[in-house]
C-alpha cells in the first residue's frame, strides 16, 4: 500500500490547548462526568456564537467541541468558560482528565468516577489519547467504546478494573480503586505500552502482554448492552445529532429543558424530560437513516480532508439498509469511525476509494470513484 497521506497528531485538542482546523481552532470541553447544568449548557451555546462560528460537535468520547474559534477570540472564550467552571487549572491537568462515565450513572457511579479523577495527578505520564471508562451503572452500555483502563461490574455486581482488550479484570472496591488504577497505569508504561509518546492499552494486550499479581485479570465483566437508540427512557430523553454536530441555538434550547448528559453515541440525554423535543437538527427515531452512516467533518472544515463528505453522506444515507453501516471519510485516517464498517468510502486526490468490510486504512476494492456518480445499489 502507498504511504499514508494524513498526519497523526498523537494528541487531542482541549480548551487550553486547541487544535487548528480548516474552519479555525477546535476547542474541546471535557465536562466533569459528562454532565452539564442548564446554566453551563446555555453558557456554552452563547460562547459558541460569540467567540466561534456557532457550530458545536459532540465527539465519540462524549466531549463538546466548539468550532471556528480564532486566536483573538480564544482568550475571551476561555474567560467565559472559566466562569462556568468548565476550565482546568492548566493544559496538563486538562489532558489528564480523560474519563468517560456512563451517561446512565447512578450516585454510586458518580462517587467512583470522582475517586478515579482524584487519582489522576498520581498517574505516570501517559499518551495524550490514553483514557479511562467508568461503566458501573445499573446496566453496562459502553462495551463498544474504546478506553484503556475500564472500571466495570462483574456478573455478581462487584467491581473490576480491566485492561482494554483483555477478557478478564482484577477485583477492586471503592477504597482500593485509586491505588489499583495508578498501579495499572504504571504497569502499562513499564511494560512498554508507550513508544515515542504514543500507545494504547489494547495494542499492548494484543501483543500478549498481561499484568500479574494483584493486577492480573481473573474476573469476567458483565455483558454489555447494545448502544441505545434515540427515544424516551427512565433517565429522560435521548436525542441524536447528525454526524455529532449541532447549532449553538439547538444547545441553547435544550438547556431550557433540563440538565444534559453527554454520550459517546452522538446523542445528548436531557435529564427528566418526558417528551421528545420537536427541534430542527435532531435525530429522534432509532430508524433514522442518518444513524446508519458515519462521516467526519471533511473539507474544508478539516485541513487533512481531501473532499467534502457530509453532503454525500446525506445523499447516500437512505440507501444504507437497516442494520448496516456506511463510513465516509475525508482521508484515510478514518477519525469518525476507526473500526470496520460494511462499506467505507475514503476521499483521495483521485476521487473516492471503496472498501468492503474494513477500515479507512485498508486496501480498497475500488478506486477513483467520482462523488456524484456513487450509488450503493448492490454494494451491501
3-state secondary structure of 223: coil
Per-residue confidence (pLDDT) for residue 2, from 0 to 100: 47
Extended strands (E) in 164-319 = 170-172, 231-232, 236-240, 245-247, 260-262, 267-271, 293-295
User: If we measure between CA atoms, which residue out of 280, 283, 239 comes closest to residue 262?
Assistant: 239
Distance CA 89, CA 85 (A): 10
Per-residue confidence (pLDDT) for residue 253, from 0 to 100: 98
Per-residue confidence (pLDDT) for residue 3, from 0 to 100: 45
DSSP 321: P
User: If we measure between CA atoms, which residue out of 326, 371, 365 comes closest to residue 347?
Assistant: 371
Backbone angles phi and psi of 221, in degrees to 5: -75, 160
Angle at 300 between CA 296 and CA 303, to 5 degrees: 80
Note whether 179 and 139 are within 8 A (CB): no
Per-residue confidence (pLDDT) for residue 58, from 0 to 100: 97
Tell me the Cα Rg of the chain: 21
Per-residue confidence (pLDDT) for residue 12, from 0 to 100: 83
User: If we measure between CA atoms, which residue out of 338, 290, 297 comes closest to residue 316?
Assistant: 290
Domains of the chain, each with CATH number or no CATH: 19-93+235-271 (3.90.480.10), 104-215 (no CATH), 289-373 (3.30.413.10)
| Tens of each residue's pLDDT in the chain, 380 residues | 444 556 666 678 999 999 999 999 999 999 999 999 999 999 999 999 999 999 999 999 999 999 999 999 999 999 999 999 999 999 999 999 999 999 999 999 999 999 999 999 999 999 999 999 999 999 999 999 999 999 999 999 999 999 999 999 999 999 999 999 999 999 999 999 999 999 999 999 999 999 999 999 999 999 999 999 999 999 999 999 999 999 999 999 999 999 999 999 999 999 999 999 999 999 999 999 999 999 999 999 999 999 999 999 999 999 999 999 999 999 999 999 999 999 999 999 999 999 999 999 999 999 999 999 999 998 99
Supply the pTM of this predicted model: 0.93
Amino acid at each position: 500500500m502507498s504511504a499514508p497521506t494524513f498526519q497523526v497528531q498523537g494528541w487531542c485538542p482541549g480548551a487550553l490547548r486547541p487544535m487548528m482546523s480548516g474552519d479555525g481552532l477546535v476547542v474541546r470541553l471535557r465536562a466533569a462526568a459528562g454532565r452539564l447544568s442548564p446554566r453551563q449548557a446555555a453558557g456554552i451555546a452563547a460562547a459558541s456564537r460569540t467567540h466561534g462560528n456557532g457550530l458545536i460537535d459532540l465527539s465519540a468520547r462524549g466531549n463538546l467541541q466548539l468550532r471556528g474559534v480564532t486566536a483573538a477570540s480564544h482568550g475571551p472564550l476561555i474567560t467565559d468558560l472559566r466562569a462556568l467552571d468548565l476550565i482546568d487549572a492548566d493544559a496538563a491537568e486538562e489532558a489528564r482528565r480523560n474519563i468517560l462515565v456512563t451517561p446512565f450513572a447512578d450516585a454510586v457511579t458518580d462517587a467512583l468516577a470522582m475517586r478515579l479523577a482524584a487519582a489522576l495527578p498520581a498517574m505516570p505520564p501517559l499518551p495524550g489519547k490514553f483514557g479511562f471508562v467508568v461503566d458501573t451503572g445499573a446496566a453496562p452500555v459502553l462495551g463498544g467504546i474504546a478506553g484503556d483502563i475500564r472500571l466495570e461490574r462483574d456478573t455478581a455486581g462487584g467491581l473490576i478494573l480491566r485492561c482494554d482488550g483483555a477478557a478478564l479484570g482484577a477485583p477492586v472496591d471503592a477504597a482500593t480503586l485509586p491505588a489499583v488504577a495508578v498501579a495499572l497505569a504504571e504497569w502499562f508504561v513499564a511494560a512498554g505500552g508507550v513508544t515515542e509518546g504514543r500507545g494504547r492499552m489494547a495494542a499492548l494486550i494484543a501483543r500478549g502482554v498481561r499484568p500479574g499479581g494483584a493486577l492480573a485479570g481473573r474476573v469476567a465483566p458483565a455483558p454489555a448492552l447494545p448502544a441505545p437508540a434515540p427515544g424516551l427512557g427512565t433517565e429522560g430523553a435521548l436525542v441524536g445529532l447528525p454526524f455529532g454536530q449541532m447549532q449553538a441555538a439547538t444547545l441553547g434550547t435544550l438547556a431550557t429543558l433540563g440538565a444534559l448528559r453527554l454520550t459517546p453515541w452522538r446523542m445528548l440525554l436531557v435529564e427528566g424530560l418526558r417528551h421528545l423535543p420537536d427541534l430542527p437538527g435532531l435525530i429522534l427515531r432509532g430508524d433514522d437513516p442518518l444513524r446508519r452512516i458515519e462521516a467526519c467533518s471533511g473539507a474544508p472544515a478539516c485541513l487533512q480532508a481531501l473532499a467534502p463528505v457530509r453532503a454525500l453522506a446525506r445523499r447516500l444515507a437512505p440507501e444504507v439498509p437497516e442494520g448496516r453501516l456506511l463510513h465516509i471519510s475525508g482521508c484515510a485516517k478514518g477519525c469518525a469511525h476507526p473500526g470496520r464498517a460494511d462499506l467505507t468510502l475514503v476521499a483521495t486526490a483521485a476521487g473516492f476509494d471503496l472498501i468492503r468490510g474494513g477500515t479507512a486504512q485498508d486496501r480498497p476494492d475500488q478506486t477513483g470513484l467520482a462523488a456524484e456518480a456513487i450509488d450503493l445499489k448492490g454494494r451491501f
